[in-house]
């Protein structure tokens, strides 16, 4: 099922956490699919204990759901997407205001470098495995340089689900460039120290994001109906 080999120097539950999480992100576990701890324990010749601990952490992150006696991969609903993006809009539009006000020149340079790295990755045709983490890093730096630890924690609690949405939201031949263009506009206002327009542009970016994701999920639902 996976090419990952367990290593003794890292606790098994940590390794299974990363293993299952990556399999979800890579689509090897589909939304709603069962994660069989007995099968995993047998495949890797370990007890169920570290797998159960990994599942507990992933359940807390929202990526796994314990449904009676089964463990299944989180399957987003349209309401979930709307609710989570409403949280992101409130938190990240304020974070970008703070970053615009507080970030020093070296911190601004670090954000700009992420954008330049993203552009370079797009030009050479890098896969989503390279570009999505760069997109995440852009948002992460804005949150970090807001200097508001409470705000950062609120977003961090949604980190797993947000990253999952980023993967689901990456459909479309020009999607990487569209997101980069939006990030460039946000950064332009940050660099110009315009808090109001930076916040407004972040809101627009997240609104476009949620619209694209909802459309993709709706198409997926319709395709499933046609296949059933």
Per domain, the residue ranges of the chain are 12-73, 78-227
Averaged over successive runs of 10 residues, the pLDDT of the chain (228 residues) comes to 62 94 93 93 93 95 90 92 96 98 98 98 95 97 98 93 92 91 98 98 97 86 50
pLDDT given for residue 197 in this prediction: 98
CATH class of the domain whose range is 78-227: mainly alpha
pLDDT given for residue 223 in this prediction: 55
pTM over 0.85: yes
pLDDT given for residue 221 in this prediction: 61
pLDDT given for residue 3 in this prediction: 53
- Which residues, other chains included, contact 44 with Cβ-Cβ below 8 Å and sequence gap of 6+? 6
pLDDT given for residue 217 in this prediction: 86
What does the block give as tokens for 34? Answer: 């069962």
Any idea what the Cα angle at residue 94 is, between residues 92 and 100, rounded to 5°?
Answer: 100
Hey, is 108 helix, strand or coil? helix
pLDDT given for residue 10 in this prediction: 84
Same fold for the pair 12-73 and 78-227: no
pLDDT given for residue 173 in this prediction: 80
Any idea what the Cα angle at residue 168 is, between residues 90 and 92, rounded to 5°?
Answer: 15
CB 112 within 8 A of CB 68: no
The domain made up of 12-73 is a member of CATH 1.10.10.10? yes
Between CA 118 and CA 132 the distance in angstroms is: 9
């Amino acid at each position: 099922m996976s090419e990952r080999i367990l290593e003794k120097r890292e606790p098994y539950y940590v390794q299974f956490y990363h293993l299952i999480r990556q399999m979800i992100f890579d689509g090897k576990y589909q939304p709603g699919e069962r994660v069989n701890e007995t099968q995993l324990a047998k495949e890797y010749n370990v007890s169920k204990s570290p797998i159960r601990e990994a599942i507990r952490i992933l359940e807390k992150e929202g990526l796994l759901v314990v449904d009676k006696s089964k463990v299944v991969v989180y399957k987003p609903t349209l309401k979930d997407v709307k609710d989570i993006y409403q949280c992101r809009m409130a938190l990240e539009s304020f974070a970008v205001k703070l970053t615009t006000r507080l970030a020093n020149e070296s911190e601004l340079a670090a954000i700009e470098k992420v954008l330049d790295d993203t552009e370079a990755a797009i030009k050479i045709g890098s896969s989503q495995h390279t570009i999505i983490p760069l997109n995440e890093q852009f948002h992460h730096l804005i949150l970090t340089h807001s200097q508001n630890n409470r705000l950062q924690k609120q977003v961090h609690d949604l980190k797993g689900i947000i990253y999952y949405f980023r993967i689901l939201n990456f459909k479309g031949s020009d999607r990487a460039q569209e997101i980069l263009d939006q990030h460039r506009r946000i950064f332009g206002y940050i660099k110009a120290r315009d808090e109001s327009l930076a916040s407004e542009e972040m809101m627009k970016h997240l609104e476009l994001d949620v619209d694209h994701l909802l459309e993709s999920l709706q198409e997926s639902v319709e395709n499933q109906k046609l296949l059933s």
